[in-house]
Amino acid sequence: MTVLFSLFAGTGVNAEDGYRLWLRYDPLPAQSVGGYRTHVTSLVVPGDSATLQAVRAELAAGCGGLLGAPVPAETGVDRDGALIAGTPKSSAVIAGLKMDRQLTALGPEGFVIRSVMVGHHAATVIASEGEVGALYGVFYFLRLMQTLQPIDALNVSDRPRLRLRVLDHWDNLDGTIERGYAGHSLWDWQALPGTVDPRLRDYARANASLGINGSVLNNVNANAQSLSHAYLVKTAAIADTFRPYGVRVFLSARFSAPMEMGGLKTADPLDPAVAAWWKAKADEIYTLIPDFGGFLVKANSEGQPGPLTYKRTHADGANMLAAALAPHGGVVMWRAFVYDAKPGSDRIAQAYDSLKPFDGKFAPNVLLQVKNGPLDFQPREPFHPLFGAMPKTPLMPEVEITQEYLGHSNHLVFLAPMWREFLDSDTEAKGPGSTVAKVVDGRLTGQRLTGVAGVANTGSDRNWTGHDFAQANWYAFGRLAWDPDLPARQIAEEWVRMTFTRDPAAVATIADLMLGSREAAVDYMTPLGLAHQMDTDHYGPDPWGVPGQRPDWNPPYFNHADATGLGFDRTGSGSDAVSQYHPPVRDRFAALSTCPEAYLLWFHHVPWDYQMHSGRTLWDELCRHYQRGVDWTRAARRTWDSLGGTVDPERHAAVAAKLVIQEHDAVRWHDACLLYFQTFAQRPFPSGVDEPRQTLAEIKATRLLSEDSERQP
C-alpha cells in the first residue's frame, strides 16, 4: 500500500483556498509571539508509534508555524519552556509526575494539560492514559495558541462526554454522494488498496483535531458489495490510514446481504443460517480490521430491506447483528428513521409508534440512531419524542451536517444554534431540566453506551465542503460531540479565529453573521413551524407540490393550506402526534395559546386572522417572517463586503459569490410561498413586504436549481 505524502500542514501555493480548514498554523501577531515563545522552547515527545509520530509532527508544525520559527525536538528537559507530550508508558517525565490516577479516571481519550516544574525547569505537559488522548490534548493546546489564549498557568482536565462521535458518509461505490454538495467521494475505491489518496490522512487529522473518532464510509442506502472481501480489503487500507488519528471505520450493512452475497434464500434474522452468515462476515471483517467499529443499518425504511419483511421486529434484526459483532467489541447503530405511506396517518408519529414498544429489548451493544426531529432534518423541528421515551435504550442523535434542506453548499447557514436548540430542549421525562443533552450523554438514564452521528458534508472539492462557511458545521459538530454543552457563540468565534482572522472586531462581526444565519434561513424557507416545503431535490420552494406524488413526500401534506388557515393539526382534534411527548411538553405544544410560535404551524392548523404575540394576524406575521429572511441576506452581503480588508481576497470573493446566490434564492422562496399561500388567505401583502417579482404561474414554470450559476440579485 502506498500512502502519498500530504502537505496539509504547509502553506503552499493554495494557502487560501480553504483546504487547511481550521488548522492554519500561520504566524501569530508579533505582539503575541514573544509570550508564547517563553513557554514553548523545545518539544519532548518520545516514542515511535504511528500516533506518537502524529503527536510530534502536529506539535512541530503547529508551534513552528504559529511562532514563525522551528521549535527543536529534544530528548529531555534541559531548560525552561519544554513542551512534553505522551503517556506514562511513552514518557519517563510524565510517569514521574505521578498522574496515573487522574489519567485513569479520564480514560484513554481524556487528557490533562498542566504547567509543571521538571527539576528546576518550568514546562508544559500534555498527558493521557492513551496515545490518541495525548493527540487530542495537543490539538486543544494548539487551539489555545491559535485563538490567543494564555498558556502560562495551565491546569486543564478534559475528556469527551460521548463515547461514539461519528461521521456518517452517504457515499456510494461509484464515487457519488447522496446529499453531497462538495464534489465526489473522498474514497477512491478504484485506486484502493494499493494507493491511498493523501486527503484521507488529512481528513483523519481534521477529525482528530475535533475528537471525532468514527467514520461510516458508505451510504445508509447500502450496496451489499461493500461487505465483499474485495471491498473489505480496500476498507482495511482506509482503516490503516485513519488509525493513528483515533478514527475507527464503520460500514452501513445491507440487511439482505446474506441473500445477495451469500446465496441464502432468506434474510430472516431468526433463521440460524442467516445468523451464521453474519457471524462469519463479522469474523472476516475483524481479521482484516481489528478495531472495526460496527454496522450502521437502515432497515424497512424507504424501500430498504429489513426484519419486518419476515414479520420480525426491529429488535430482532438489530440483536442478530449485535450478536455477530459482540465478541469483537463492535456496535450496531440502528436507524429510527422508519415510516410507511399509510393513508390517514401522520408520518412524523410513525417512528415513535414503531420503536417505543421495544425499549429495553435491544442488545447491550445496540444504539438506536434517532434524527434530531421527528421528520427529516428540516430547518426547524421540535425535538424527536423518542428522546426521553426510551430510558432503557441508548439513543444516539443523528444530525445533518450537509445542508440537504438548507441551501446545499450555496447558503451560509451555521448549524450550531440549531443543534444547541435541540440539545437544550427539555423532554421533562424526569421533571424539569431533563434536557435532550442529558438523555444523550447518559446523565438522565444512566446509559454508558453513548454517541452522536452527523451526516457528513465533505467531498472532493478543494475546500472540502463546497462553501467555506460550511466547514464551520463540520467543526461545530465535532466540538458539540465532544462537549454537548458548548455555547454556539464560543464555537463560532473559535472557528473564525482559526479559519479567517483574529481581528477582534472582524471576529465579532463574522460570528454575529453566523449566529443569525440559521434563523434567517428558517424565515425565508419554513417560518412559524412550517416544514418540508422543498421541491424534489430539497433545494427550492415547492409548497404546491407535485400532482400524484406520494402524499407524505409532498409539501401540501405538511402545510395543509386552505381557505380557513395554515398548518398541520397534531393535537387531539387532529393526528394527536403531540401526545407522544411527556405531559408538560404535550400540554404546552397542544394549546394554541402556549405553543411556541416557532412550532405553531407544526402542531396547529391556525386561522389566517389568528392574533399572534406581536398583535398581527397569522397572515401578516407569516409575510413579515419571509421578508425578514430576505432582508437578512441583503444585510449579510453588505456585512461581508465590509470585511474585504480583513479576510484574504480569494475566500472573501468566493463567499461573496455564494451570498449573491443566497439572496436570489431567498427572494424566490419569499415570492413563491407567499403567492401560493395568498391563493388561500385572499389577503393583501402588508406594508413593508416586497411585492413578488413574478406571478405564481411564472414561478411554477421554472425550477430553482442548486447548480444554477446565472442568478442575479
Give me the catalytic one of 109, 400, 404, 494. 404
Whole-Å CA distances, 490 to 41, 479, 514? 29, 10, 12
From 302, 485, 512, 562, active-site residue: 302
Taking the C-alpha atoms of residue 85 and residue 113, their distance in angstroms, rounded to an integer, is 9
Give me the catalytic one of 58, 129, 268, 376. Answer: 376
| Intra-chain end-to-end CA distance of the chain, in Å | 50
Active site residue 663: no
Helix, strand, coil percentages, rounded to 5, for the chain: 40, 10, 45
Question: Got the DSSP string for 75-118?
Answer: SS--STTEEEEE-TTT-HHHHHTT-HHHHHHH-TT-EEEEEEEE
Q: In whole angstroms, how far apart are CA 648 and each of 30, 471, 481, 501, 508?
A: 19, 16, 30, 9, 17
**400: annotated active-site residue:** no
Q: Give the list of residues 6+ apart from residue 405 with CB closer than 8 angstroms, or none.
A: 376, 377, 378, 379, 525, 532, 534, 538
What are 429's three cell numbers? 421525562
**Does residue 641 carry a catalytic annotation?**
no
CB 629 within 8 Å of CB 704: no
Q: 180: exposed, middle or buried (C-beta count within 10 Å: 0-12, 13-18, 19+)?
A: buried
Give the list of residues 6+ apart from residue 437 with CB closer than 8 angstroms, or none: 423, 424, 443, 484, 485
Per the DSSP assignment, residues forming a β-bridge with 164 are 451
**Containing H/E element for 166?**
strand 164-168
Judge residue 593's burial from the number of C-beta atoms within 10 Å of its C-beta, 0-12 exposed, 13-18 middle, 19 or more buried. exposed
Tell me the C-alpha distance between 685 and 674, whole Å. Answer: 9
Active site residues: 302, 376, 404
